[in-house]
Every structure is written in structure tokens, then in C-alpha cells.
Chains A and B, each alone.
Chain A
């Protein structure tokens, strides 16, 4: 089942919208603009009716899989249910129909909501101040590292080393490079923690920061976090917290309590704003008091009962984007925060961890669990004894599609061979987990009994396995009229 491109549905002269007539006296366009600045060729946009358009995109939506369709245990992505009330809130005209440069007295509600969200996120992370500006997680990372760079510079220090664990997400080293630092990798130990001795070797007077996710990307809590923080701080470095895995610890511990100096959150993970097929996200950054003057401009402040945009930050790194925040995403997160309250958030983390441990226990006899520990909100595992059948993790993942699941994250983190990373989240019930575990066991059996079937999977999706090699060798990146 495939769908034509919208361009292929186009028929000359067909229209999808009627606009009101121009109601001001018109002049000829070439009186208003010089001839050499006018577009010469007609735009090749599709000409389709409203119904053609609606059907086309509705059909495309049916070729797509979201959390509302089924179980989505995609590790490190926190694919929890996105409450509908959050969507309704963000779509209120009182929020969507605001121009960012409107006078402050006409946007007091928007500013209040941002102010409160800054505070709530600071509370839950144990930070002193928060900026809502970054547009996504990686954008938050860059903001955070530029803050660290500006802070060190203000102290007259030239430190250019950023340390990341070998289990880190690719954005960490990429961000550190973009921020102008040299990246050094530190290895993990046999329990899946940062190797403290290796870290001690690496940390020195040139160390600007250690970037860490805790729980880490193996789904394990860095047990030596206090010691790690001490090692880095004693050498004059800072600790950066990648909030990708915040869903495991809310109300139980916080980056602030663990000793982190700078934090980014992913509102599209922990705070339940939908992922939108790859965005928009939102990646607020929090800091300890000493780093507050370096946050991007503006912050939202309260002056008596009046909310304001505050620009008077002479040491600020500047701006990371236009305007103030992915405001619509912030509205959803705010709605989620007050729906949960602190009691609810703690329960979210407890149940996220409960679900992950339960699923891990259900699968433990069937898949290899490389780290025999209590996991946090996610865990890693890999198949055993399938190599002789030529069945790889990729094949198992593709076969899960036939069973109606979105597969877990595969081949990440890089340090575990043929890895699968499963994150069930707190919003899934026990039946879903039991059924998933049973089906994984079934797929593992198939891999032994009928490996060809698994290797040829998926069989029941709109398209089969796609040829990524041809796509990359001879890139076709846009429609061209045949």
C-alpha cells in the first residue's frame, strides 16, 4: 500500500482555498516592484481540492505509528501517553493567537504561565534558575555548554576539555564540539557505571565539564555519582546533566541534589508533550545560582503582580533562538505539571521504574540482560544464540512490527553488542507488558524455528524493508515532474 505524492494528485486549475477579494485599491504589481525582482516561472506547488488534500494526509497518517496506536517501548525516548487536555490547552486562541512582540500588559497570562513553568522545572530539578528558550534537547545541551564556556571565561579560565561517557547519546559529543571544546571519552565499568578510576585519570585542570545522564543510557543509576561530582568539582570542572532520563527520578532525587551545575530537560519526554513525528520539542535549561547571570535572554520575572520579560543580563550568552520559547510546547508541559503535582510526578517515576523492572524480569529468561541490577525506567538486553541462524537484533525489531508494536531502540548505546533498549513508561498497564513479553518470546522462538520469516520481516506493514543503500548512494530528495 503506497500513497501518491501530493504533487501527483495535482490537476491544473483545481483550488483548495478561496480567499476574500482584495478590498483596497490595487495597483499593477510591476508599479510596486521592479520587474527584475518578480518571479519569472510559475510555482510548481500542487493544485488540489480541500478534500483531495484532507484525504491524502489522512491516508498518510494511517501509514504512521504513534503512541495512540500502540505500545512504543522506544528506549531513551520516553514514549508515554500524551494527555489530550494538554493539546486542548495549547490550542486555546488565548495562547495561539498572540504575537511575540505584543505589549506585556496584553500577554500577562502567557508570561505568568512561563514564569510558573520556570519555577516548577527549577523545583523538580533542584536548580536555582531556568530558561525555557531552547527548542529541543540538543539545543538545550548547546545552551548549557555555552553557559559553562561563558562562566569559565568570566573567571579567566581556559579549560577546553569536555568528558563524556562511552555510553553517551551522540548529541553530547557533537554538542561539545560545536561549543568549541575537545571531547574525551571515558569508559564504563563492568557494572555499567562510569569507570571512576578512568575518570580520575582523565579529569585535570583543563577539564571544563563532564556531561552525564543519570540514570545513564544503559538504564542504570550511576551509583558513584557523589564521588564523580567530587572528582570533577575538586578539579574546578562543572557537571552537566542531560535530562533525557529524568522520567526515572522525579521527586526521588534531582540533578541539583546529585551535584549537577547545569541541566537540560526534554519536555517532549518527561513532561509528556508529544514528539510530533520528530518535533517540535522543548529543552529548558536550569542552572545553579552562580551560573544564572549567563542564561540566555530574556527571562520571565515577576515584579509585584506584573510579569515581565527581563533583558538586563550583561553576562548572558545571548540568544539561542528568536523570541522566548517553544511556547505552545511549554503550555502542554505546564498543563501536565499541574495535573500531576509533585505527588503525581513522584508516582510517575516510581511506576516507570516498576514497569521497566517488571518487563525486564518477564524477559530475563529469554534475552540476555548484560547488567544484573535493578534497572531504572529502561533497560538494555540482547538476544543470545541467534547468530548461527543469522538473525540479528534488527530482524527481531522488524518482526515486532508485524505484531503491532513499535520496536525498542536498537544498536544504542554503542557499547553493548546487538543491543535493544526498552522503556515501557508508566502509562502502560500490566496486560500490555505481559502480552508484549509473550510476543517477544514467540518471536525468539520463530527466530530459531523459522529464521527466514523473521529475517524477511516485516510482512504486514504498508511497505516492506526499504533499500537504504540506494537512497544514500543516489539521493532523491525532492519531487521532480516526470
Chain B
């Protein structure tokens, strides 16, 4: 109630002006039979102090990754977020603004998105990027739809080594336009190129490969791109932007569309969202891209300025013929990524990526030397890796949790053939002490 400022005197004056005696009279056009006549069960109203107490109490029922030591990745990553990021996001000129439909008073958001687009292009090696998408999974699905529209073909091939949830989201989206989705099997931790070759035909619009893939392994994108382009289909890569500080960009490997999850760029894991989908593509596909795009221009005095552009693609103009139905993006999360990347710079981001690489490999070497733990594949990996474990992953994770550690992901849940396999993630935020403790506990050397 406190967010309604009317004094009783003002309310009376306003009602007089409208010649009504009661507020209910404003709703006279509503048929009586649809008016609510039962109790609605929502507690409150509560004062701010009570609300603060209650939220604190609920939050305290959770155990955070500061209270526990986490080795989980699989699409949400504990990378360090510099303090300044949240301070900038707390500027309410940014966060209480709507979509920048009035560019003269929205240069802040517009310019930051232009900077974001520039950074995404740089990381992915692509010509153009949009203002962001909901998350990595939905961006992947949108890329498939975009490729289908651009090629006028209806089949999409996706590697089984792509995040299982991303594949599910693709399948759900594909149900709309009834695209055919086929999975390409993996072998030795990477997508099997021979299987891809067998599945290629003239109906294939897109092939989707994740880099690094769900298992953390690096895929040979160039080899895939050659096969894909031979069949005049489009190569879609779903890439972890943090890894791109270290490895070749998908663009330089021949990708036509690059999408991915940008949560690792300054956005909290926050139990799964809001995160940050991104999308970039070649200039040729620019007008097929879904979502908002910011472009540079000049104002009537010749000053540089930024506007939403290429809007004729979008739903508010093209309606049922739009490239997508997407309207909202994740502007504030894109701002977080822009500030994060500005603070990190090329050197900082590379350090983060290198430390992930070093620490993941250090952890891997230690674990596979433990009795009963086995290496599974021998492919290059980035910050995640798979090992075969001697007991059920559930038991191992329970034991670790008792000691304050969140272990790796139980892969059997997503891949029946990988029962007794776990996916560990080690980012720059894990210390050697934490890693050594994990290894000791896994080895049964319990302290």
C-alpha cells in the first residue's frame, strides 16, 4: 500500500473530478459474473522491515557457493565478478528504464549495447551481434530457426555433446514450425565427424556444435564447418565466451552463427537466471537475426548517437512475418557483461581463461591418479572434464557435501551410457587448497 501516494484528500478530489463516490464505480463496465467473489490467498501486506526479515530468513535456508566449495559447471559458472560491476548496475537510470524507444533520452543504454555488440563480435570473430537474447539455450534454438528461414530448409542437426538442456529447448522450439531435429553422436568426448557426414543431406539447415562442448572438450570446429558448408548448410556454434580469450574464435573457424551463454561475464549464477544469451552472425545473415540491434548514426547537429536499427525485422513492425517473436532482451545483463569485459580487458580475461585451464588440468591429473578414478577420453579440454568414478556419483557427492563440498555433475542422469561418470568444473575462483581437499576427500583420505 505504501507505494500508492494518494492522500485521502487527494483521492477525494480526483473522485470528485470523475464524479464518482467509490472506486468500484470505475469498474462498472465489468460484468458482475466475472468479478472475484472468493478469498485470494496471498499473505501480506507486510511492512518493509517484516519483508526484509522474511527474505533474509528464506535466503538463509540456502547454502551458497561461498559457504560450500563448488565444482559444478555445466552451463553456470562461478567466475569472479569485480565489485564495480554491481555498482554500475545499481544506477537506477539504467535499471528503471524501459527499452530505448526514445533514443534522445536513452543514449546510456543504447551506447552500452553498442559496446556490448562490439565486444561479442570481437570475442566470437563475427561481423555483427545483437543486443542479447534470454539465455544460451534459447539463443541456440533461435539460431536454428534463423538458419531454417535463411536456407529455407527444415532439418537441424545438433551434436549430442551439446548441453542436454539446450537440446531439450531446441526440441521444444522446433515443435512450433515443426522442424526436424536429429542428434549427432559423440565419440571419445567429441562430436563424431563421420556421423555428421552420414547425416548431411540437402534438407539440413544448420549443424549445431558447442565449443567447448558439454563435457568440456574442445571440438575441431574447422573440420565441421567444411562438411557443413559443402552441403550449403549453416554452421552454428554455441561458445563459452570466457574460453574465447584463449582459443580460436568460431568466426575464424567458419561459423555462420555464434550463440552462447554470457553468464560467466559478470553475471551471478543466481540459481539459474537471469543469465545472458548472446548471438552473432556474418554480415550476410544480418537481416535474418532475431532481437534488437543497436546501430551508430548522427543527430541533427552532427553528433554521434545510437539508435535501435534494422527494426523492420521485428515483431512490432513485421507482426506475423517477423524473424522471431522476441521483444525483451537482457539489456541489464548485457550491461553487466560490458562493464565486466571493460574491467577485465584483454589481459584480465586471458588470465581468467588460463587459470581455468591450468587449475582444471591440475585437478584432473590429481583425480585420475586416485585409486579407482579413471580417465575416460584423451581430448583437449578447457575448464571442465569427465572422469569415471569408482562408486555411484550420488554417494560420492553426498560424502563430499557432508564435508562442505559440492562435487561434480552426475552424468548418468543425462547420458545413460555415462553412468558412474562425473563432470567436474574448476574455474579461477577455486584455490589449490580447495582442490587438494577435494582430491583428498575423493581418495578417501578424509580429514
B303 surroundings in chain A (CB, below 8 A): 2, 463-464
Name the residue of chain A whose CB is nearest to the CB of B52: A85
> Are B406 and A99 in contact, CB atoms less than 8 angstroms apart?
yes
- B329 in the interface, Cβ–Cβ < 8 Å? yes
Residues of A within 8 A of B270 (CB): 90, 95-96, 98, 327-328
Nearest residue (CB) in B for A26 is B358
21 A/B residue pairs, CB under 8 Å, sorted by A = A37-B248, A38-B246, A58-B91, A94-B59, A99-B65, A142-B176, A252-B36, A277-B94, A277-B331, A279-B134, A320-B173, A323-B272, A324-B272, A401-B102, A407-B102, A430-B10, A466-B104, A467-B299, A471-B307, A476-B297, A479-B118
Within 8 Å CB of A94, what residues of B? 56, 58-62, 64
CA distance A24 to B322 in the complex (A): 51
Choose from B101, B115, B138, B352 the contact partner of A135 (Cβ within 8 Å): B138
B147 at the interface (CB under 8 A from A): no
**Contact indicator B76/A397 (Cβ below 8 Å):** no
Cα distance A472–B359 in the bound complex, in angstroms: 46
For A221, give the chain B residue with the smallest CB separation. B29
A40-B248, A103-B406, A174-B325 known; A475+B137 contact, CB < 8 A: no
Q: Is B198 an interface residue (CB 8 A)?
A: no
State whether A278 touches B309 (Cβ < 8 A): no
Residues of A18-74 contacting chain B, CB below 8 A: 19, 22-27, 29, 32-34, 36-40, 42-48, 50, 53-54, 56-58, 60-69, 72, 74
Residues from chain A with Cβ under 8 Å of B401 in the complex: 103, 106
Given the contacts A6-B342, A94-B59, A322-B135, A63 and B274 also touching, CB distance less than 8 Å: no
Q: Who on chain B is nearest to A121 by CB?
A: B42
Q: What residues on A are CB-neighbors of B27 within 8 Å? A: 221, 252-253, 353
In the assembled complex, the Cα of A412 lies from the Cα of B316 at a distance in Å of 9
Q: Is B345 an interface residue (CB 8 A)?
A: yes
Q: Which residues of A contact B112 (CB under 8 A)?
A: 57, 60
Task: Give complex CA distance A340, B127 in Å.
Answer: 48
* B195 contacts A by Cβ under 8 Å: no
Q: Which of A328-362 contact B (CB under 8 A)?
A: 328-329, 331, 335, 337-345, 347-348, 350-351, 353-355, 357-358, 361-362
Query: Do the beta carbons of A139 and B138 come within 8 Å of each other?
Result: yes
Which B residues from 58 to 117 make CB contacts under 8 A with A?
58-66, 68, 70, 72, 74-76, 78, 80, 82, 84, 86-88, 90-109, 111-112, 114-115, 117
Q: How many A-B residue pairs have CB under 8 A?
A: 679
The reply to whether A146 and B172 form a contact with Cβ atoms under 8 Å apart is yes
Q: A340 touching B319 by the CB < 8 A rule?
A: no
Contact residue among A80, A99, A178 (Cβ-Cβ distance under 8 Å from B76): A99
Question: A277 — which chain B residues lie within 8 A by C-beta?
Answer: 94-95, 97-100, 106, 108-109, 331-332, 335
Segment touching A, from B163-171, B202-210, B227-235, B370-378? B163-171
* A416 contacts B by Cβ under 8 Å: no
Give the residues from 119 to 160 in chain B that come closer than 8 angstroms, CB to CB, to chain A: 119, 121-123, 127-129, 131-132, 134-138, 145
Q: When the two chains form the complex, which single residue of B56, B316, B358 contacts A22, counting CB atoms closer than 8 Å?
A: B358
Does any Cβ of A come within 8 Å of B180's Cβ?
no
Q: Is B444 at the interface (CB under 8 A from chain A)?
A: no
- Interface assignment of B397: CB less than 8 Å from any CB of chain A: yes
Q: Determine which of B84, B137, B316, B428 lies in contact with A53 in the assembled complex, contact meaning CB atoms within 8 Å.
A: B84
Is the pair A361, B18 in contact by a Cβ cutoff of 8 Å?
Answer: yes
Partner-binding segment picked from A109-117, A284-292, A383-391 = A109-117
Contact A136 B268 (CB under 8 A): no
- Complex CA distance for A317 and B129, rounded to whole angstroms: 30
- Inter-chain CA distance A318–B396, complex, in Å, is 30
Chain B neighbourhood of A357, CB < 8 A? 18, 26
Out of B104, B121, B272, B355, name the residue touching A19 (CB < 8 Å).
Answer: B355
A75→B271 CA distance, assembly (Å): 33
A167 to chain B, nearest CB (A): 12
Contact across chains for A113 and B328 when beta carbons are under 8 A apart: no
Closest A residue to B332 by beta carbon equals A276
Render B42-63 as a binary contact track against A, CB cut-off 8 A, 1 for contact. Answer: 1111101001101110111111
Residue of B nearest to A103 (CB): B401
**A43 pairs with B346, CB closer than 8 A:** yes
- How far apart are B322's CB and chain A's nearest CB, in angstroms? 4
Contact of A398 among B60, B104, B115 (CB under 8 A): B104
- Which residues of the partner chain B approach A429 to less than 8 Å between Cβ atoms? 5-6, 10
A39 touches B249 (CB 8 A): yes
Closest to B380 in A: A33
Contact B397 A47 (CB under 8 A): no
Q: How far is the CB of A150 from chain B (nearest CB, A)?
A: 8
User: In the docked arrangement, what's the CA distance between A38 and B92, Å?
Assistant: 40
Residues in B with CB closer than 8 Å to A74 are 98, 101
Instruction: Enumerate A266-280 residues with CB–CB distance to B below 8 Å.
Output: 268, 272, 274-280
* B247 and A37 form a contact (CB under 8 A): yes
B188 CB-CB contact with A under 8 Å: no
Q: Is B315 within 8 A of A278, CB to CB?
A: no
When chains A and B are docked, how far (Å) is the Cα of A362 from the Cα of B223?
Answer: 68
B447 at the interface (CB under 8 A from A): no
Contact of A66 among B3, B42, B92, B322 (CB under 8 A): B92
A478 (CB) vs chain B CBs: closest residue:
B118
Taking a contact as CB atoms under 8 Å apart, the answer to whether B319 and A85 are in contact is: no
Is the CB–CB distance between A358 and B35 below 8 Å? no
Is residue B293 contacting chain A, with contact meaning CB distance below 8 A?
A: yes
Considering only CB atoms, which chain B residue lies closest to A13 in the complex? B347
Lowest 4 CB-CB distances: which A-B pairs, in order?
Answer: A94-B59, A341-B44, A323-B272, A64-B108
Q: Judging by beta carbons under 8 Å apart, are B345 and A15 in contact? A: yes
- Across the interface, B40 reaches (CB within 8 A) one of A123, A173, A328, A477, namely A123
A338 touches B245 (CB 8 A): no
B21 at the interface (CB under 8 A from A): no
Complex interface: chain B residues within 8 A of A239 (CB):
none
Contact B261 A38 (CB under 8 A): no
Task: Confirm or deny: A427 has a beta carbon within 8 angstroms of a beta carbon on chain B.
Answer: yes
Provide the bound-state CA to CA distance between A277 and B119, in Å.
19
Residues of B within 8 A of A342 (CB): 39-42, 44
A136 to B290, CA, bound (A): 15
Residues of A within 8 A of B166 (CB): 322
A139 and B134: CB pair below 8 A?
Answer: yes
- Judge if A448 is at the interface, Cβ distance under 8 Å: no
Closest-by-CB residue of A relative to B295 is A471
The answer on a CB contact under 8 Å between A468 and B307 is: yes
CB of B344 within 8 A of CB of A45, answer yes
| Minimal beta-carbon separation of A174 from chain B (angstroms) | 4
Closest Cβ of chain A: how far from B211's Cβ, in Å?
10
B44 pairs with A344, CB closer than 8 A: yes
Question: In the complex, which of the residues B2, B108, B322 contacts A62, with contact meaning CB atoms closer than 8 Å?
Answer: B108
Task: Verify if A204 is at the interface (C-beta below 8 Å from B).
Answer: no
Find out whether the CB atom of B331 lies under 8 angstroms from the CB atom of A430.
Answer: no
Give complex CA distance A63, B122 in Å: 26
A278 with B329, Cβ < 8 A, contacts A29-B357, A344-B45, A471-B309 known? yes
- Chain B contacts of A3 at CB under 8 A? 107, 111
Cβ–Cβ contact B96 & A82, under 8 A: yes
Report if A135-B273 is in contact (Cβ < 8 Å); known contacts: A43-B245, A353-B27. yes
Query: Could you tell me the distance between the alpha carbons of A103 and B65 in the complex, rounded to whole angstroms?
Result: 12
Chain B residues whose CB sits within 8 angstroms of the CB of A91 once the complex forms: 86
Q: What is the CA–CA distance of A340 and B2 in the complex, to the nearest angstrom? A: 8
B308-345 near A? 1/0 per residue, CB < 8 Å: 01111011111111101111111111010011011111
Q: Are B104 and A461 in contact (CB under 8 A)?
A: yes
User: Are A101 and B409 in contact, with the CB atoms below 8 A?
Assistant: yes
| A100 with B269, Cβ < 8 A, contacts A54-B84, A317-B172 known | yes
Query: How far, in whole Å, are A228 and B70 apart by their CA atoms in the complex?
Result: 54
A112 contacts which of B10, B58, B300 (Cβ < 8 Å)? B58
Q: Which residues from B are CB-within-8-Å of A85?
A: 48, 51-52
Interface mask (B352-370 → A, CB under 8 Å = 1, otherwise 0): 1011011101100000000
User: Which listed residue (A14, A68, A180, A401) contacts B177, Cβ 8 A?
Assistant: A180
Convert A449-482 into 0s and 1s, putting 1 for each residue whose CB lies closer than 8 angstroms to a CB of B: 0000000101001111111101110011111000
